[in-house]
């Protein structure tokens, strides 16, 4: 087979993730090249990136500084083992990250994905309580419709049924808060929804059920992304923080999507003024260019574990590729690009136009709710009777054919363009969507 055949007929040797593999092979969609706001297909068709790849390419594609840093690093130091030895740039990068992190989150543990950043945070929470003599705090609390990656811990605290149901008993000692999605009261809200802070009281109920002395941590996405862009009701995160504080429970924010400027502030914790004890990040940390995850920990958590004999490993956890030199190089260049271009706050400047433009689609057929924050948008469509997800999937396929990349989850369209998007491109994106929505069955 020559390269041309291979390129046009993708082989099923590659078992594709979160993909309908057999349907894909009947009508493959391929991306061959990317620059700034666009992808190009192998045939050379331009696709406007309305999803920042998969919520990660915040500075736009193939930014020269990031490309050059990765290339130079590959020739300088391709790999360095991360256990009991280090490479200088990893320490510099951690310092740079801590400089922009929410107050008090002063320590960074590197991994290779959001899923691993989550496992790291959950394990840190358990180890922290044990180190302080509270090993009885073993329970982890997540939330319905939460997405925390695909490893066993993250799936256990996660709340998306399709990601859970095939995989047995998952972790024991896990419970869930109810989700906060309440379109009957909050549909088409501008800004944070007015109703639903009381859902935080579910944590009080779980404390009454299990006793706080058995609960290690609560993990939530400040804005739930994968499940369809669910915004926190006004006062909700503050209330969760207060209940955690009153009962010695750690609060973990999963900022894999919300981190690095997506909402208009460096992190959701900054935007909402609620600082967690642990914060998970990935995706935008390297602009998607090299896989990396990072878990930020509070000073108190770090210090609680920096005890015992000095020559003993404090946390038996880490990855072969923790702080991989290529990821560190990409991350440092990404941070510099974000800072040079003001991207950690640009979404805040664009947010009013973004919100106006997306809410302008309210009159389109099937649209039952529109939610925006920063440069994130969710457009919820009514499901076809008996066929949940079918309308969303068709919208995704039609958008791709029309030159626009979107994400869909069920019948919710999720939008999260690179933070470099122009006003004209926002208008273009909305025009394509309007076209699709008005012709969709």
Q: Which of 58, 73, 101, 115 binds ligand PXG (CB under 6 A)?
A: 115
Which residues from 389-418 bind ligand PXG, rule CB under 6 A? 407, 409, 414
Q: Which residues contact 79 (CB under 8 A, 6 or more apart)?
A: 324, 325
325-340 helix and 88-100 helix, angle to the nearest 10 degrees = 40
Closer to ligand PXG by Cβ: residue 118 or 203: 118
Question: 18 and 386 in contact (C-beta within 8 Å)?
Answer: no
The correct pick among 254, 270, 369, 380 for binding ligand PXG (CB under 6 A) is 254
Q: Under rule CB under 6 A, which residues in 118-157 are in contact with ligand PXG?
A: 118, 147-149
Q: List the one residue from 50, 82, 114, 232 that touches ligand PXG (CB under 6 A).
A: 114
Instruction: Kindly tell me the number of DSSP H helices and DSSP E strands found in the chain.
Output: 17, 15
- How many residues belong to the chain? 441
CA trace torsion 175, 177, 183, 184 (10° rounding): 100
- If the CB atoms of residues 101 and 286 are measured against ligand PXG, the closer one turns out to be 286
Strand partners, 217: 140, 250
Q: What is the DSSP letter of 283?
A: G
257 touches ligand PXG by CB under 6 A: yes
Q: Among the candidate windows 22-30, 32-40, 136-144, 250-258, which touches ligand PXG by CB under 6 A?
A: 250-258
Q: How far is the CB of 174 from ligand PXG (least distance, A)?
A: 16
Neighbours of 128 (CB within 10 A): 25
Out of 53, 193, 225, 276, name the contact with ligand PXG by CB under 6 A. 225
Identity of the residue, 304 or 399, whose beta carbon is nearer to ligand PXG in the bound complex: 399
Q: Is the CB of residue 109 less than 8 Å from the CB of residue 124?
A: yes
Residue selected from 282, 285, 294, 437 as contacting ligand PXG according to rule CB under 6 A: 282
Single residue of 34, 54, 402, 440 touching ligand PXG by CB under 6 A: 54
For residues 221 and 258, is the Cβ–Cβ distance under 8 A?
yes
Judged by CB, which is closer to ligand PXG: 148, or 391? 148
Q: Which is nearer to ligand PXG, 137 or 262 (CB)?
A: 262
Sheet with strand 174-177: strands edge to edge? 107-111, 293-297, 278-281, 250-254, 215-220, 139-143, 174-177
* Distance between first and last Cα of the chain: 40
Helix (H) or strand (E) holding 373: strand 367-373
Residue count at the site for ligand PXG (CB under 6 A)? 19
Asked if 233 interacts with ligand PXG (CB under 6 A), we say: no
Q: Where are the beta strands (DSSP E) in 88-138?
A: 107-111
CB 323 → ligand PXG: shortest distance, Å? 16
Chain residues in the site for ligand PXG (CB under 6 A): 54-55, 113-115, 118, 147-149, 221, 225-226, 254, 256-257, 282, 407, 409, 414
């Amino acid at each position: 087979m020559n390269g041309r055949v291979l390129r046009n007929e993708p082989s099923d040797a590659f078992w594709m993730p979160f993909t309908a593999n057999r349907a894909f092979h009947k009508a493959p969609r391929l991306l061959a090249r990317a620059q700034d706001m666009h992808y190009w297909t192998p045939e050379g068709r331009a696709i406007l990136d309305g999803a920042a790849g998969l919520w990660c390419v915040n500075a736009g594609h193939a930014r020269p500084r990031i490309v050059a840093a990765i290339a130079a690093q590959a020739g300088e130091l391709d790999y360095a083992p991360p256990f009991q030895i280090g490479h200088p740039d990893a320490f510099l990068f951690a310092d740079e990250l801590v400089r922009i992190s929410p107050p008090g989150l002063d320590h960074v543990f590197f991994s290779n994905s959001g899923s691993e950043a989550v496992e790291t945070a959950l394990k840190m929470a358990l180890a922290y309580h044990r180190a302080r003599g509270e090993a009885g705090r073993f329970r982890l609390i997540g939330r319905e419709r939460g997405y925390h990656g695909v490893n066993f811990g993250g799936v256990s605290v996660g709340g998306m049924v399709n990601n859970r149901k095939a995989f047995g008993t998952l972790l024991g000692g896990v419970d869930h808060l109810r989700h906060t999605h309440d379109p009957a009261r909050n549909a088409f809200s501008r800004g944070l929804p007015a109703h639903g802070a009381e859902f935080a009281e579910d944590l009080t109920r779980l404390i009454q059920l299990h006793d706080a002395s058995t609960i290690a941590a609560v993990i939530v996405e400040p804005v739930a992304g994968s499940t369809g862009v669910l915004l926190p009701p006004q006062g909700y995160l503050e209330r969760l923080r207060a209940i955690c504080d009153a009962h010695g429970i750690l609060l973990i924010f999963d900022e894999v999507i919300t981190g690095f400027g997506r909402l208009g502030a460096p992190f959701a914790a900054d935007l909402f003024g609620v600082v967690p004890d642990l914060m998970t990040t990935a995706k935008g940390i390297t602009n998607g260019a090299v896989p990396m995850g990072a878990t930020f920990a509070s000073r108190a958590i770090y210090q609680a574990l920096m005890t015992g004999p000095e020559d003993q490993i404090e946390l038996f956890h880490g990855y072969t590729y923790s702080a991989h030199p290529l990821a560190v190089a990409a991350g440092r260049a990404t941070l510099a690009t974000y800072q040079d271009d003001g991207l950690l706050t640009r979404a805040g400047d664009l947010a009013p136009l973004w919100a106006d433009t997306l809410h302008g689609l309210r009159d389109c057929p099937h649209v039952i709710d529109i939610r925006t924050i920063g440069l994130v948008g969710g457009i919820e469509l009514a499901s076809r009777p008996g066929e949940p997800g079918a309308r969303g999937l068709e919208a995704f396929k039609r958008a791709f054919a029309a030159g626009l990349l979107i994400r869909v989850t069920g019948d919710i369209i999720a939008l999260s363009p690179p933070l470099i998007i122009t006003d004209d491109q926002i208008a273009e994106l909305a025009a394509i969507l309007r076209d699709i929505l008005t012709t969709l069955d």
